Chain A
Amino acid sequence: MLKNKFNCYCFCLLVFSCTMNDNTRTYKLVKTKFPETITNTKTKKSQVLSWNKPERWVVSDGSSMRLASFSVPYSKGGGDLSVIKLDGSGGGIEANINRWRRQLNLTPLSLVAIEKDITSKQGNLGNYKMIEIINSETNDAFLCAIILLKDSTIFVKLSLKIEGIAEIKNEFITFCSSLNFD
């Protein structure tokens, strides 16, 4: 019986150890010519964006997409501000504002209708566009700024409740106007 047990043990060990465990492999090969890439995301040494923020704004952990991320407190709550820079027009004003509108469960608008709500501001990087997007049913709002540059666009979005707009708006404009490249 002992011999049987030993045989069984050896056999089971043999059978169950037969698994492929080569999920990762590495090797070197002579150079291959790959097709050119359309979207070459090579990191260039870019200029560093700087800003002046109100003292009470706290730097927060945003996604890796964000150039900057802040928690913006106000008397009845807090907002989340993000600064993102995209190459070119970043999809354009109409598409981006409608994307934000959809995030607030609002229907998209035409460019003509959107432009009625846009105000123009002057900042260190030149004129920029600002818009308030409000969903009064959910009490949610976005304060957004779009800064068009020569080869890129900076998007600043502050997500907050409607009651915070009046209190934060001036700080938001001051922040957006202070954005500059070192």
Chain B
Amino acid sequence: MTTINYFFKILKTPKLFVFTIIWMMVLVVLGTLAQKNMGLFAVQEKYFSSWIFWFWHIPLPGARPTMIFMLINLSFFFFNKSLWKINKMGIIILHLGGILLLIGGGLTAIFSSEGNMVINEGEESNYVEDYHYMELAIINTTSNDFDTYTIFDYNVLKRNNILIHENFRFEIEILHYIKNCKPIRRSTPSEVQYRGMMKNFMLSDLAPLKEENLNRPGIIFNLLNTGSRVDGIYGLFLGQTVPQKITVEDQDYIIVFRKKRTYLPFSIELIDFKKVMHSGTDIPKSYSSEINLIESDIKKHLLIKMNEPLRHKGYTFYQSSFIEGPDGETTVLAAVKNYGQLFPYISSIIMCIGLLIHLVIKLPKLIKSRNV
């Protein structure tokens, strides 16, 4: 038997499924224990979204390759000739449900997005800000009519990466990406190479917090080859109220470090945010956002309430939170887009049908054997 055939034999064996299921259980236990110290998002990234993770000095497979092996194993078993018999119809359907469940999980892992849409009363918004991931936006504001955005995602904002793009003629060398930082005013003058906010402030590294959304990420980068004194080291952090502006070769740019934004093909205008308290207490009973859904200049008047989300064009907007400020109220909508959202429901129904059919097929035999 050749090595390839042996490999295929391993992929087909039901034992592989048993091992992957056991390994998933181990991962769930490790993740649950680690969550206490690391926080939910970090655990999800380390154990469940990763290909390999390090347990002390031992590299171990994450949930992603484990589930891929599980899917390959189920698929091989599903397409095995010996399974395709009428008396195994229930098992065939059960496997189909399992395969669909894993494919749905894969689609969710790769393509889904979730974030917040924050809208002040009387204003409208057409973008969702990701909960976790950051982006560096280089915005060319030279034109009187529009701004040109060049966005670099979190994945490329790593130390020593050099960011270049045809939209601008300078280079950005990432010097440091800080998961959690604190801007501290300098007590002595900065080194001469610092520019912008970094002339007066430095970004101090803090230990990342368990609650991911409490971290304040920051980035330090070197602007190169502008052909002018704009060259230098810049720093930006999340929530910086004053963006960094530069001019290179008569082109005006604004550089912003912000949560990853996904622009929508429609806008939501907040007309009124309402909250109802339990009488005589400060405990909220319900929140609701009266909104206009604006699409192609057509306004549709809608209400988003707790447990009554708005579903539109694949997005689901839940009433998540609110902010009360001196200038009025602000609604916070949790926006989710999940291409695989129907897969768990469909696959669960299919698996139930499969189990039921298998039971019906096996039931006469079971009754007969009991009678004997």
Known contacts A24-B153, A38-B197; is-contact A11 B242 (Cβ 8 Å): no
Interface string of A81-101 (1 = CB under 8 A from B): 000101000111001101100
Nearest Cβ on chain B to A142's Cβ, whole angstroms: 14
Closest to A26 in B: B150
Closest to A43 in B: B228
- A5 sits at the interface (CB 8 A): yes
Interface string of A24-67 (1 = CB under 8 A from B): 11111111101111111111000000000000000000011100
User: Complex formed: what's the CA distance from A35 to B256 in Å?
Assistant: 11
Interface contact B144-A31, CB-CB below 8 Å: yes
Interface contact A8-B72, CB-CB below 8 Å: yes
Closest to A31 in B: B147
Considering the complex, which residues of chain A in the window 5-28 have a beta carbon less than 8 Å from any beta carbon of chain B?
5, 7-8, 11-12, 15, 18-20, 22-28
User: Complex formed: what's the CA distance from A7 to B242 in Å?
Assistant: 55
Partner of A39, one of B150, B189, B197: B197
- B321 sits at the interface (CB 8 A): no
In the complex, how many residues of chain B place their beta carbon closer than 8 angstroms to a beta carbon of chain A?
A: 56
Closest to A82 in B: B192
Interface contact A31-B110, CB-CB below 8 Å: no
Known contacts A34-B243, A90-B189; is-contact A24 B150 (Cβ 8 Å): yes
User: Complex formed: what's the CA distance from A26 to B136 in Å?
Assistant: 12
User: Which of chain A's residues have a CB closer than 8 A to the CB of B11?
Assistant: 8
- A4 sits at the interface (CB 8 A): yes
Interface contact B232-A5, CB-CB below 8 Å: no
Interface contact A36-B149, CB-CB below 8 Å: no
Considering the complex, which residues of chain B in the window 184-230 have a beta carbon less than 8 Å from any beta carbon of chain A?
188-193, 195-197, 199, 224, 228-230
User: Which of chain A's residues have a CB closer than 8 A to the CB of B192?
Assistant: 65, 84, 86, 90, 155
Closest to A90 in B: B189
User: Complex formed: what's the CA distance from A97 to B231 in Å?
Assistant: 24
Nearest Cβ on chain A to B256's Cβ, whole angstroms: 8
Considering the complex, which residues of chain B in the window 235-260 have a beta carbon less than 8 Å from any beta carbon of chain A?
241-248, 254
Interface contact A18-B195, CB-CB below 8 Å: no
Interface contact B146-A35, CB-CB below 8 Å: no
Closest to B110 in A: A18
Nearest Cβ on chain B to A45's Cβ, whole angstroms: 10
Interface contact B8-A65, CB-CB below 8 Å: no
User: Complex formed: what's the CA distance from A22 to B230 in Å?
Assistant: 29
- A1 sits at the interface (CB 8 A): yes
User: Complex formed: what's the CA distance from A123 to B148 in Å?
Assistant: 47
Nearest Cβ on chain A to B129's Cβ, whole angstroms: 15
User: Complex formed: what's the CA distance from A2 to B43 in Å?
Assistant: 41
Interface contact A42-B247, CB-CB below 8 Å: yes
Interface contact A15-B246, CB-CB below 8 Å: no
Considering the complex, which residues of chain B in the window 80-123 have a beta carbon less than 8 Å from any beta carbon of chain A?
106, 110-111
Known contacts A15-B71, A155-B192; is-contact A28 B148 (Cβ 8 Å): yes
Nearest Cβ on chain A to B200's Cβ, whole angstroms: 8
Closest to A89 in B: B189
Interface contact B195-A5, CB-CB below 8 Å: no
Interface contact A99-B146, CB-CB below 8 Å: no
User: Which of chain B's residues have a CB closer than 8 A to the CB of A36?
Assistant: 242
Interface contact A24-B152, CB-CB below 8 Å: yes
Nearest Cβ on chain B to A43's Cβ, whole angstroms: 4
User: Which of chain A's residues have a CB closer than 8 A to the CB of B71?
Assistant: 15
User: Which of chain A's residues have a CB closer than 8 A to the CB of B232?
Assistant: 64-65
- B167 sits at the interface (CB 8 A): yes
Known contacts A11-B72, A26-B167, A42-B247; is-contact A37 B149 (Cβ 8 Å): no
- B320 sits at the interface (CB 8 A): no
Interface contact B76-A39, CB-CB below 8 Å: no
User: Complex formed: what's the CA distance from A18 to B197 in Å?
Assistant: 40
Interface contact B243-A7, CB-CB below 8 Å: no
Known contacts A37-B244, A43-B229; is-contact A26 B148 (Cβ 8 Å): yes
User: Which of chain A's residues have a CB closer than 8 A to the CB of B110?
Assistant: 18-20
Nearest Cβ on chain A to B166's Cβ, whole angstroms: 9
User: Which of chain A's residues have a CB closer than 8 A to the CB of B241?
Assistant: 35
Interface contact A41-B167, CB-CB below 8 Å: no
Q: Measuring CB to CB, which residues of chain B are less than 8 angstroms from any residue of chain A?
A: 4-5, 8, 11, 68, 71-72, 75-76, 79, 106, 110-111, 139, 141, 143-153, 155-156, 165, 167, 188-193, 195-197, 199, 224, 228-232, 241-248, 254, 263
5 A–B pairs (Cβ distance < 8 Å), ordered by A? A11-B75, A23-B155, A31-B145, A65-B229, A90-B189
* Pairs of residues from A and B, 6 with the lowest C-beta to C-beta distance, nearest first: A91-B189, A64-B231, A37-B245, A43-B228, A95-B189, A42-B247
Other 11 A-B pairs with CB < 8 A, given A7-B75, A41-B230, A43-B229: A1-B5, A4-B76, A23-B156, A24-B151, A24-B153, A26-B148, A29-B263, A30-B145, A34-B141, A37-B245, A38-B242
